[in-house]
Amino acid sequence: MPYALCFLLFMIGLYCAVVKKNMVKIVIGIMVMEYAVNLFLIMLGYRFGGVAPIIDKGQLEAGMEQFISSSVDPLPQALVLTAIVISLGSLALMISICIRTYEKYGTFDITQIRRLKG
């Protein structure tokens, strides 16, 4: 069920990016997609009732097997951090291109920004 909702969020973002006419809304749609994928990654490593993947003394005494079977997977969290940094970079670039385009054309409507065709 959470996976289905996550996929729904992804589809909402894709719909927004493909259908909307306003440049800023397209950017928002792309970011919603990005967050849906990040959420999916986090859910992959999540475990209900799991513990944080940090070993302390008590857990070492209780044995490695028990720690492995009860902790959440830390790798997707590292991946999500990287993905967030990347999407921050692309968001900044996209917004700055939007601003420059607005200065040139005086509109955010992509149906009016079309000098390139053919």
Partner 1 sequence: MSIPLPVFIAIPLVTAFVLPIFGKKGKDAATVLANLATISLLVLAVASIGQSGVYEIGKWSIPLGINLVLDGLSSLLLLAISVVASAAMLFSARYMEQYTAKAKYLSLFLLMVAGMNGVVLSGDIFNLFVFLEIASLASYALVGFGCEHEELEASFKYMVLGSIGSIFILFAVALVYGNTGSLNMAYIGKAIRDSGLNAGLSFAMALFVVGFGLKAALMPFHAWLPDAHPSAPAPISAMLSGILIKTLGIYALARVVFNVFGVSVSIGWLLVVLGLLSMVAGAFLAIGQGDFKRLLAYSSISQIGYVVLGIGLGGLILARAGNNISTEQLGWASLAILGGLFHLVNHAVYKSLLFLTSGSVQMSTGTRQLKQMGGLAEKLPFTRATCTLASASIVGIPPFSGFWSKLILVVAAVQAGFYWIAAIIVFVSLCTLIMYLKVQRYVFLGELPENLQQIKENRGSMLVAMVFLACLCALMGLLVLVPCLKQSILEPAVKVLTDGLEYSAIVMKM
Q: Name the residues that contact partner 1, by CB under 8 A.
A: 10, 14, 17, 23, 26, 30, 33-34, 37, 40-41, 44, 75-76, 79, 82-83, 86, 89-90, 93-94, 97-98, 100-101, 104-105, 113-116, 118
Residue with Cβ nearer partner 1 (66 or 107): 107
Residue with Cβ nearer partner 1 (57 or 104): 104
Task: Quote the least distance from Cβ 23 to partner 1, whole Å.
Answer: 7
Q: Of 27, 73, 29, which is closest to residue 50 (Cα–Cα)?
A: 73
Task: Quote the least distance from Cβ 95 to partner 1, whole Å.
Answer: 11
**Residue 52 amino acid letter:** A
Task: Quote the least distance from Cβ 2 to partner 1, whole Å.
Answer: 13
Task: Quote the least distance from Cβ 65 to partner 1, whole Å.
Answer: 17
How long, in residues, is the chain? 118
**Residue 66 amino acid letter:** Q
**Residue 50 amino acid letter:** G
Token pair, residue 10, equals 């992804």
Element (H, E) at 40: helix 23-45
> If 0-12 CB within 10 Å is exposed, 13-18 middle and 19+ buried, where does residue 1 land?
exposed
Residue with Cβ nearer partner 1 (21 or 62): 21
